[in-house]
Amino acid sequence: MSGVWSFLHKLGSPRWFYRISSQWLPWLGVLAGGLLLWGVVWGLAFAPADAIQGNSFRIIYIHVPAAFVSLAGYYMMAGAGVVSLVWKIKLADVALRAGAGVGAAMTFCALVTGSIWGKPTWGTWWVWDARITSMLVLLFLYLGVLALYEAFESRETAAKACAVLSLVGTVNIPIIYKSVDWWYSLHQPATIKLTRAPSMHPDMFHPLIVTILGFYVLYVVLLLLRMRAEVLEREEKARWVEELAQGRGLAPESGG
């Protein structure tokens, strides 16, 4: 347990985070690229065509992973908001702001690919379906957090406001998950559930799992990159950032 607290304490140091993330990123980048290449090629080139939708179903190998990550990313952002409000850890606020940008991009990707899939399937690019509408609300929540950061001159006030908004917005996540069960929806019921076997054929399902894993790792990579940029912006006057800018690298921390 002491090791966990020690790790969390180190996360409070932007310098330590920047150094350790430099070690993580190459491995995570290779893992993300490998999983995505494997899953997308498997799904697009080798998975059988759907009996009803034909080849148009293949967009799920982008749409579904992007949707999964956009929802999980909001929970991460809300968790960072709790840590920022309760423990005042600076890096939590950094993660919240970085997560808002990455999450907005993932949500936008899910909405766009969903529209592309909807045109041949439903005959229209957009309908005010419960699932689509609640996903659009999620995009606005992400953008709202980003806008709040720019609305306040005080970084501390902005951090508190964004943390509160991120927590309030979590009520929308269960609505997204359950929208196809609670209301009439053009969307099919969830394919992946913990309580039962998937309804997809294994030859279609397995590459989907690989691409979902790839998107999760990609999310971590993008989040770390955005956090590193945010850390450098906030710590621009710190000596370790000046040393980094001069190409001297990061020396081990001797104190705080």
DSSP sequence for 7-63: HHHHHT-HHHHHHHHHHHHHHHHHHHHHHHHHHHHIIIIISPPBTTTBGGGGGHHHH
Report if residue 51 sits inside a domain.
no
Query: What is the CA 200 to chain-centroid distance, rounded?
Result: 25
The 10s digit of each residue's pLDDT in 6-64 is 666 676 788 999 999 999 999 999 999 999 999 999 999 999 998 888 898 999 999 99
Report if residue 252 sits inside a domain.
no
Is a pLDDT exceeding 90 seen at residue 150?
yes
Report if residue 232 sits inside a domain.
yes
State the CB neighbour count (10 A cutoff) for residue 200.
16
User: What pLDDT score was predicted for residue 178?
Assistant: 87
State the CB neighbour count (10 A cutoff) for residue 168.
12
Average pLDDT over residues 186-211: 78
Query: What is the CA 245 to chain-centroid distance, rounded?
Result: 29
Report if residue 101 sits inside a domain.
yes
Cβ neighbors of 2 (< 8 A, separation 6 or more) are none
Q: Between 60-87 and 172-182, two packed helices, what is the crossing angle to 10 degrees?
A: 140
Report if residue 253 sits inside a domain.
no
Is a pLDDT exceeding 90 seen at residue 192?
no
User: What pLDDT score was predicted for residue 4?
Assistant: 61
Residues of the domain holding 239: 18-45+56-245
Report if residue 196 sits inside a domain.
yes
Q: How far apart are the C-alpha atoms of 34 and 172, rounded to whole Å?
A: 33
pLDDT band with cut points at 50, 70 and 90 for residue 199:
confident
Report if residue 10 sits inside a domain.
no
The 10s digit of each residue's pLDDT in 237-251 is 888 888 888 877 776
User: What pLDDT score was predicted for residue 183?
Assistant: 75
Domain count, the chain: 1
Tell me if 190 sits within 8 A of 40, measured CB to CB.
Answer: no
Report if residue 81 sits inside a domain.
yes
Is a pLDDT exceeding 70 seen at residue 195?
no
The 10s digit of each residue's pLDDT in 71-112 is 999 999 999 999 999 988 889 999 999 999 999 999 999 999
Q: Which of 43, 20, 77, 54 is nearest to 228 (CA)?
A: 20
Alpha helices by DSSP H, 152-193:
155-168, 172-182
| Overall residue count recorded for the chain in this entry | 256
User: What pLDDT score was predicted for residue 256?
Assistant: 41
Tokens 């951090």 belong to residue: 159
CA distances from 239 to 90, 236, 243, 245 (A): 18, 8, 6, 10
The 10s digit of each residue's pLDDT in 161-182 is 999 999 999 999 999 988 877 7
pTM of the model: 0.92
